[in-house]
Amino acid sequence: MTNKVSTEVQQEAMRIAKGTQKKGQTKEQTKLVAQGIEKGISEYKKQQKIKARERDKQRKKSLSAKVNAVETAELTTQSSESKETAKNSTLAIFFPWMLLALSWGYFLFTSS
């Protein structure tokens, strides 16, 4: 399984290999050094991709934890608000009927 290396990486590796070339070193040896440098660059890039993926996973995990905490807080708030609303709606339904009964009772007792 051969890894495809970009031409920019190959050129950079060859430039570095030529820069470190010793006297009496053949072109084939320089090419081998350049190939080693290419492999090193490829490995470095792979490691950086892996690290970036791990950082992204951690970021997403912490973000989802924050979102879950906010949603839980909102649900708790909505739950308490809905209980208060239910109490208020029961009172709102009961209160007019109570006033009607009291007014009829008042009219019945005052008219007799």
Domain membership of residue 96 (yes or no) is no
Domain range for 43: 7-81
Q: Is residue 90 part of a domain?
A: no
Residue 18 lies inside a defined structural domain of this protein: yes
In a domain, 106, yes or no: no
Q: How far apart are CA 59 and CA 16, in angstroms?
A: 36
pLDDT per residue over 37-81, tens digit each?
A: 999 998 999 999 999 999 999 999 998 888 888 888 887 777 777
Q: Is 67 helix (H, G, I), strand (E, B) or coil?
A: helix
> Does the residue 2 lie in any domain?
no
Tell me, what's the pLDDT at 108?
Answer: 86
2 vs 55, which has greater pLDDT? 55
1 within a domain of the structure (yes/no): no
- This prediction has a pTM of 0.51
Residue 89 has pLDDT above 70, yes or no: yes
44 contacts 66 by C-beta, under 8 angstroms: no
Question: For the residues of 6-48, what is the DSSP string, one character each?
Answer: -HHHHHHHHHHHHHTPPTT--HHHHHHHHHHHHHHHHHHHHHH
- Per the model's pLDDT, the better-predicted residue between 3 and 37 turns out to be 37
In a domain, 65, yes or no: yes
Domains held by the chain: number: 1
**pLDDT at res. 2:** 52
Residue 97 lies in a domain: no
Residue 35: burial class (beta carbons within 10 Å; 0-12, 13-18, 19+): middle
Is the pLDDT at 100 greater than 60? The verdict is yes
Whole-number pLDDT of residue 60 = 92
